[in-house]
Amino acid sequence: MLLEERTISGLHDFLGPILKRYAIPGGRAIDLGAGSGALAVRLRDLGYEVIAVDMNSERYKADIPFIPLNLNNPDFAPLGNGTFDFVTAVEVIEHLESPITFLRHIRSLCKPGGMALITTPNMDNVPSRLRFLLTGKLHMMDEKVPNHISPIFYDLFIRQYLPRAGLKPIEHCSFPKNGYKVSRKSYSWIFRLITCLLPGKTLFGDVHIFVLKPIEDNDGT
């Protein structure tokens, strides 16, 4: 059965090589905000023992163990602290009331040496900057997507959110790499032109992709 991917079209396929690169066959993985279970199935196919988590059990269709949990819940202990080699949260953090608290939960779920992958809308890209300049509203954060409540900005995320949560970035990229899928195609050439004129490494792509690792005591940070 083909499971619905509740993300920008093509994102799960783009994540495939990244997930494979960090895969630990025989390890344990947990997918937070699992939706239908499409990403959880990909993790299982990489050899993980997987648990899927979401507040909505009705839309979950995968044959993988499922735990119902509101990810705004302050207690993640029932999920098993310090027991996972890999944690994923694809298009989740922007839906939550406290991004830093959620990142701390991700840190607590990781084993020593464990890793996490999260994605979130790119608030730093050219369409978002222009939208805010012209309307005072954020791209992918307006009334059209009322369940997006916490915009994540790259600089604050790296400089403030991650250190406070006890995490550090080991890889970052954007999807799509050199363009946009959410914006109208007729505007793409304008956005590309502006991108060539502005400094910054986060101007392309609709989605940030971060691979994270817990900060250990011997990191000196």
Query: Could you read off the pLDDT of 197-219 as tens digits, one per residue?
Result: 666 778 888 999 999 999 986 67
Parallel/antiparallel/unpaired status of strands 49-54 and 84-90: unpaired
Cβ atoms within 10 Å, residue 190: 14
What count of residues does the chain have?
221
Mean pLDDT for the stretch of residues 132-138: 90
SS3 183: coil
Tell me what pLDDT residue 126 has: 85
Contact 20, 46 (CB under 8 A): yes
Residue 121, beta-bridge partner list: 207
Which domains occur in the chain, in start order? 11-122+145-181+205-215 (3.40.50.150)
Whether the pLDDT of residue 84 is over 90: the answer is yes
Tell me what pLDDT residue 16 has: 97
Least confident of 69-73, 126-130, 147-151: 126-130
Parallel/antiparallel/unpaired status of strands 66-68 and 49-54: parallel
Residue 168, beta-bridge partner list: 213
Tell me what pLDDT residue 24 has: 93
Give the type of residue at 195.
T
Contact 99, 162 (CB under 8 A): no
Whether the pLDDT of residue 183 is over 60: the answer is no
Q: What percentage of residues in the chain have a pLDDT greater than 70? A: 87
Higher pLDDT, 183 or 178: 178
Query: Could you read off the pLDDT of 108-117 as tens digits, one per residue?
Result: 999 999 999 9
Mean pLDDT for the stretch of residues 65-69: 97
Residue 37 falls in which region: left (phi positive, over 0), alpha (psi -120 to 50) or beta: left
Cβ atoms within 10 Å, residue 211: 18
Q: Tokens 């899928």 appear where?
A: 181
SS3 167: strand
Residues 217, 3: Cα–Cα separation, whole Å? 40
Residue 108, beta-bridge partner list: none
SS3 93: helix
